[in-house]
Amino acid sequence: MERVRNWLLPALLAVAQLSVWPGLTLLRGESVQAPQLAVGLAATASAVAVLGLRRRFPVAATLAIEATLVAEVVVPEEALLAAMAAGVAALYSVAVRRPAGTAVLVAAVLTGSAVLRSLAVYDSPVDVGGEALASVAVYAGTVGVGLSRRRWLAGRRAAERELARAEAVRRTAAGTERQRLARELHDVSAHHLTSVVVTADAARRLGESRPELTADALRLAAEGGRETVRALHRLVAVMRSPAADEESPLEERIAELAAGFERLGQRVSLDTASGPAALTGPVAEAAFGVVREALTNTLRYAPGAAVRIVVRDGAGALDLLVEDDGAAEAASGTTARAPGARQGLGSGRGTAGMRDRAAGLGGTLEAGPRPDVPGWSVRARLPHPSSAVSRNPALTSVSSADTATVLAVSALPVIAVLIERPAATATACLPAVLHALPLLWRRRTPWTVLFLVLASAWIPPVAVALGLLPSDVAWALTVAGACAVCVALHAVAAFAGPAGRTWPAVLVTAGGLASTAVALDAFGGGRPEAGTGDAGVPFLVFLTVFLTAFTALPMGGVWGLGVFVRRRRESVTRREDSALTAAVWSAVVEAHEERQRIAAELRQEVLRHADEVVVRAERGDLDGAAERARAGLAAMRELLAVLRQGAGAATGTAENAEKENAENTEAAAKHLSKP
């Protein structure tokens, strides 16, 4: 299909060329000399053949087609219409498939080549100038359209890459969640249940020589069981969060998280008065992860402490603060201000993970004891992506495509004046440029640009009234300048909003053009008495209304084209967004389902055994507590094996666990044997 589309345009151009020349020429009874026929057909065949290679070699194809136009010195201009159109089509491919600088350079080469050919063909400087300006208009317009298409395709490719990343995340969502939860469960088993087992084993081993160690072992078993229950309940609470949490606004997610930790015994106060109520995306996800990890550490090392969470959004970044008063540490007599006090209690991966989250966004994170008061604090600054570079919005809205469009639209009135009155060409340049210049910002402020273009259309009538321009030059500027008005109207339909809000632009544009033409007619002497007496006013009003109605039809067509472009763009964007949303939501749901499944298994097996450890230890049954701890460890390791196998890391799980148990048993025995 792609091959057919690639060669369809060259075939159509060849048929059209043969129909116009020599076909139409011969039908009119005019003769075509054999040398001209041979050169013309050779140029056409070469141009259309090279045009078929425009997608693979756009620059080379454009220059090769331009070389065939040298035949203009031998054959009439109508014999090279297909070659000229092929050159424009090839330049369009250059603008779409190559950088903007390359397209501008190739367009400049084509313009220079056209000027050189016109010098060889025409004797009049007016004709040479007209050819140069026509080339600028055609090639600049082609580059503008091609660059717009290039930007559109770049957006589609970016959307495809985003969708591919989302699909990749969706495919690995469950595995990633299993891997993350496996780390969490390993920490629980390594630090709590394992300690119960090894402590009980060491107490039994030394029981005959040191019977008092049995009481210590029972106390440690009860504490380890309770800590296991608390840790698992905390983990289950996190896993049971709704699947929609990942897509909820940050303030709502943090509030739900704080409420969950309050149910676990923490006293949490939340200050998000200046926070982003509806913030989502990477910054929100990183902020939520930092707050969750900070709260988890507080619950682990300062249970029951008062925790304060502050979220501030400003100066291009999101600032977070999570601090506690160190109530549990103060009660136990520990000093949180001692360097490394908390780091030694855990694996240290929590703080490192928070720093990684912040660094991934180009932010910073500080964690440590609070100065002068008990407690711990975590401070993070997460910059928004849009704040990385500050730019002038008026400048960023101007693109190479807009500049090329303005150049093409400016050249048309100058060409019209050059044809009408060559001596006034220089005078016409400034009004033409002022009329087209607002189009640079037509995508950003289309309504404003439309009114500016309609206002600048009054420059020729006013100049005629002041005697600065002759009437024929003003008419040429006005008629050719209507192209700028059409471009502005198209921008309103395409960028200013839905059709229901932009249709008045048709009447505004038609009325503006009609009033400009009537004013020019009155100032130019078409009706000397018009506008000066009572008899002339009704006629001017009638003429304006008539011309408005007459002009509204073509302006409606221009507006309809803009509406079509807008709806097509919205349809494509909506389809891409829908696919992306579906992929992201699928990943969220799959991860949520995996958490739910693991939470159910934890509640059914591990938590039941952990509760029994506490019960047996409180009854004084050390052997029963150790047995229940081993059963909980077995259930935990079985679940870990399943998780790691799903994540591709199941090898060696049992062997590593047994080795770790043996090492911990020896360490506990040495500790308990000390006097």
φ, ψ for residue 181, nearest 5 deg = -70, -30
| pLDDT, averaged across the chain | 80
Please give the pLDDT value at position 238: 58
Contact criterion met (CB below 8 Å) for 308 and 291? no
User: If DSSP codes are grouped into helix, strand and coil, which group holds residue 282?
Assistant: helix
CB atoms closer than 10 angstroms to residue 280? 14
- Tokens describing residue 208: 């005959």
How deeply is 542 buried, as exposed, middle or buried, from its count of CB atoms within 10 A (0-12, 13-18, 19+)? exposed
Rounded CA gap, 541 and 533, in Å? 13
Please give the pLDDT value at position 501: 93
Please give the pLDDT value at position 1: 67
In whole angstroms, what separates CA 316 from the centre of its chain? 18
Pairing mode, strands 376-383 and 364-369: antiparallel
User: If DSSP codes are grouped into helix, strand and coil, which group holds residue 339?
Assistant: coil
Please give the pLDDT value at position 665: 42
Q: Give the mean pLDDT of 334-352.
A: 45
Please give the pLDDT value at position 585: 65
CB atoms closer than 10 angstroms to residue 658? 11
Identify residue 339 by its one-letter amino acid code: P
Count Cβ neighbours within 10 Å for each residue of 319-358 and write b for 16 or more, e otherwise.
bbbbbbbbbbbeeeebebbeeebbeeeeeeebbeebbebb
Q: Is 60 exceeded by the pLDDT of residue 650?
A: no
Confidence of residue 654 (pLDDT cuts 50, 70, 90): very low
The answer for residues whose C-beta is within 8 angstroms of residue 155's C-beta and 6 or more apart is none
Q: Which residue has the higher pLDDT, 659 or 315?
A: 315
Please report where in the chains the tokens 């005697």 appear, as a residue: 467
* Helix or strand (DSSP H, E) at 272: strand 267-274
Confidence of residue 625 (pLDDT cuts 50, 70, 90): confident
Confidence of residue 606 (pLDDT cuts 50, 70, 90): confident
The backbone region for 634, taken as left when phi is positive above 0, alpha when psi lies in -120 to 50, beta otherwise, is: alpha
Please give the pLDDT value at position 669: 43
The most confident of 205-214, 416-425, 433-442, by mean pLDDT: 433-442
Please give the pLDDT value at position 53: 94
Could you read off the pLDDT of 225-260 as tens digits, one per residue? 777 777 777 666 655 555 445 556 788 888 877 876
Could you read off the pLDDT of 432-486 as tens digits, one per residue? 999 999 999 999 899 999 999 999 999 999 999 998 889 999 999 999 999 999 9
Please report where in the chains the tokens 């050779």 appear, as a residue: 42
Closest CA to 429 of 407, 447, 450, 446: 407
Contact criterion met (CB below 8 Å) for 302 and 375? yes
CB atoms closer than 10 angstroms to residue 432? 26
Contact criterion met (CB below 8 Å) for 381 and 392? no
Confidence of residue 348 (pLDDT cuts 50, 70, 90): very low
Please give the pLDDT value at position 660: 47
Please give the pLDDT value at position 185: 64
Please give the pLDDT value at position 263: 67
The answer for residues whose C-beta is within 8 angstroms of residue 361's C-beta and 6 or more apart is 282, 283, 286, 382, 383, 385
Please give the pLDDT value at position 104: 95
Rounded CA gap, 616 and 218, in Å? 9
Please give the pLDDT value at position 393: 41
Rounded CA gap, 547 and 511, in Å? 8
Rounded CA gap, 217 and 214, in Å? 5
Q: Which residue has the higher pLDDT, 109 or 576?
A: 109
Q: Give the mean pLDDT of 67-94.
A: 94
Please give the pLDDT value at position 445: 93
Contact criterion met (CB below 8 Å) for 482 and 442? no
Please give the pLDDT value at position 360: 75
Please give the pLDDT value at position 532: 37
Q: What angle do CA 208, 227, 630 make, to 5 degrees?
A: 50
Please give the pLDDT value at position 133: 93
What percentage of the chain exceeds 70 in pLDDT? 76
Could you read off the pLDDT of 22-60 as tens digits, one per residue? 999 999 888 889 999 999 999 999 999 999 999 999 999
Closest CA to 361 of 291, 283, 249, 276: 283
Contact criterion met (CB below 8 Å) for 234 and 298? no
Q: Is 80 exceeded by the pLDDT of residue 570?
A: yes
Q: What is the pTM of this model?
A: 0.63
Q: Which residue has the higher pLDDT, 531 or 440?
A: 440
Q: Is 50 exceeded by the pLDDT of residue 150?
A: yes
Please give the pLDDT value at position 644: 65
Contact criterion met (CB below 8 Å) for 300 and 360? no
DSSP string, 351-393: HHHHHHHHHHTT-EEEEEEPSSSSSEEEEEEEE-GGGSS---H
How deeply is 28 buried, as exposed, middle or buried, from its count of CB atoms within 10 A (0-12, 13-18, 19+)? exposed
Please give the pLDDT value at position 529: 40
Please give the pLDDT value at position 278: 62
Rounded CA gap, 175 and 595, in Å? 11
Rounded CA gap, 410 and 439, in Å? 10
The answer for residues whose C-beta is within 8 angstroms of residue 479's C-beta and 6 or more apart is 416
DSSP string, 547-599: HHHHHHHHHHHHHHHHHHHHHHHHHHHHHHHHHHHHHHHHHHHHHHHHHHHHH
Q: Is 90 exceeded by the pLDDT of residue 656?
A: no
Q: Is 70 exceeded by the pLDDT of residue 173?
A: no
Rounded CA gap, 621 and 218, in Å? 8
Q: Is 90 exceeded by the pLDDT of residue 390?
A: no
Q: Is 60 exceeded by the pLDDT of residue 398?
A: yes
Q: What angle do CA 562, 564, 570 make, to 5 degrees?
A: 105
Identify residue 144 by its one-letter amino acid code: G
Output the CA torsion sign for 216, 222, 224, 227: negative
* Helix or strand (DSSP H, E) at 3: helix 2-18
Confidence of residue 603 (pLDDT cuts 50, 70, 90): low
Rounded CA gap, 346 and 180, in Å? 17
Rounded CA gap, 143 and 107, in Å? 8
Q: Give the mean pLDDT of 395-422.
A: 85
Q: Is 60 exceeded by the pLDDT of residue 137?
A: yes
Q: Which residue has the higher pLDDT, 468 or 356?
A: 468
The answer for residues whose C-beta is within 8 angstroms of residue 364's C-beta and 6 or more apart is 358, 380, 381
φ, ψ for residue 88, nearest 5 deg = -65, -45
What percentage of the chain exceeds 90 in pLDDT? 40
Confidence of residue 385 (pLDDT cuts 50, 70, 90): low
Confidence of residue 123 (pLDDT cuts 50, 70, 90): confident
